[in-house]
């Protein structure tokens, strides 16, 4: 029995390492890929897969925020305007996700993956930015970014920063670096709230999640380093294509 548990722990550790490296390599995808993988390999329903993936996502988000904070300035007043509504939205959307039918959540997640893949394919394939006057909204609209990102993070366990960063750059005139810093500042407490909510509802497999988290923490930097030595744009296009195929498979066969 002990040998079996040890072997399972090693397998989960290696799986987390692979997913962490993928997250670092593609910039998106560690937690996004973990959810369907957990469903396929372990037969987890959608809620359990999302809750377990959060065990791996939380330390990566915390480490990323800590490293970013060391090297960059964060506008704390703006971060607070996003963080408060994001945490509230994360909690209630996570409560909803743990209560609805697992198959319905499964289908919604597949659609979410497809939309993300199409968006990133569009940003990667367009030859040059459209020459249009950017829409710059006032700071009073910042809380709505937090609401949107928090709802995504709670309902799907992923996507908070993925939603926030494009909104901040497109509608608030922020640079990519500033948007990423605010996204991390907002996502860090929200991710902890999401994990607590899923765990409270009994939708976390700690025996799988903890070894995966350890593997992911150790490997994500390797993925980032590898991304600087490979044709990253082509890899991301292939990755988005894989997301599309995976989302279609989840819709049809899930």
pLDDT at 1 over 80: no
Our count of domains for the chain comes to 1
- Top-confidence residue, 89 or 237: 89
H or E segment at 68? helix 46-71
**pLDDT tens-digit profile of 114-151?**
988 888 888 777 765 554 455 677 788 899 999 999 99
Contact 145/164 with Cβ under 8 angstroms?
Answer: yes
List, in order, residues 6 or more apart from 211 with CB less than 8 Å away. Answer: 9, 10, 12, 13, 16
Of 23-37, 48-62, 144-158, minimum mean pLDDT range: 23-37
Sorting pLDDT into bands at 50, 70 and 90, what band is 170? confident
pLDDT at res. 127: 61
Mean pLDDT for the stretch of residues 46-70: 86
Domain that holds residue 40: 1-253
**Tokens linked to 17:** 């390492």
For residue 203, pLDDT over 90 is answered with yes
Cα–Cα distance between 152 and 159 in angstroms, integer?
Answer: 6
pLDDT at 27: 62
User: Model's pTM, two decimal places?
Assistant: 0.85
Q: Please compute the mean of the pLDDT values over residues 91-100 and round it to a whole number.
A: 94
Q: Each residue of 204-215: pLDDT tens digit? A: 999 999 999 999
Question: Which residues, other chains included, contact 83 with Cβ-Cβ below 8 Å and sequence gap of 6+?
Answer: 146, 185, 186, 189, 190
Q: Is 227 helix (H, G, I), strand (E, B) or coil?
A: helix
pLDDT of residue 241: 82
């Amino acid at each position: 029995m002990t040998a079996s548990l040890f072997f399972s722990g090693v397998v989960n550790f290696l799986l987390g390492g692979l997913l962490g490296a993928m997250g670092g390599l593609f910039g998106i995808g560690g937690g996004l890929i973990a959810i369907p993988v957990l469903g396929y390999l372990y037969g987890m329903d959608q809620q359990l897969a999302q809750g377990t993936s959060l065990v791996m996502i939380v330390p990566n988000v915390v480490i990323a925020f800590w490293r970013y904070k060391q090297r960059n300035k964060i506008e704390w007043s703006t971060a607070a305007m996003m963080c408060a509504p994001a945490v509230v939205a994360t909690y209630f959307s996570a409560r909803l996700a743990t209560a609805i039918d697992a198959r319905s959540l499964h289908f919604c997640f597949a659609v979410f993956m497809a939309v993300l893949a199409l968006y990133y394919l569009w940003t990667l394939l367009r030859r040059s930015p459209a020459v249009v006057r950017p829409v710059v909204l006032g700071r009073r609209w910042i809380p709505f970014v937090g609401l949107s990102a928090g709802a995504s993070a709670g309902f799907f366990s992923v996507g908070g920063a993925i939603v926030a960063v494009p909104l901040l750059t497109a509608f608030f005139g922020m640079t990519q670096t500033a948007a990423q810093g605010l996204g991390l500042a907002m996502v860090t407490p929200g991710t902890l709230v999401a994990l607590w909510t899923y765990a409270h509802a009994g939708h976390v497999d700690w025996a799988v999640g903890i070894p995966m988290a350890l593997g992911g923490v150790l490997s994500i930097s390797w993925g980032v380093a590898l991304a600087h030595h490979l044709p990253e744009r082509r890899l991301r296009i292939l990755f988005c294509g894989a997301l599309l195929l995976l989302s279609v498979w989840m819709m049809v066969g899930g």
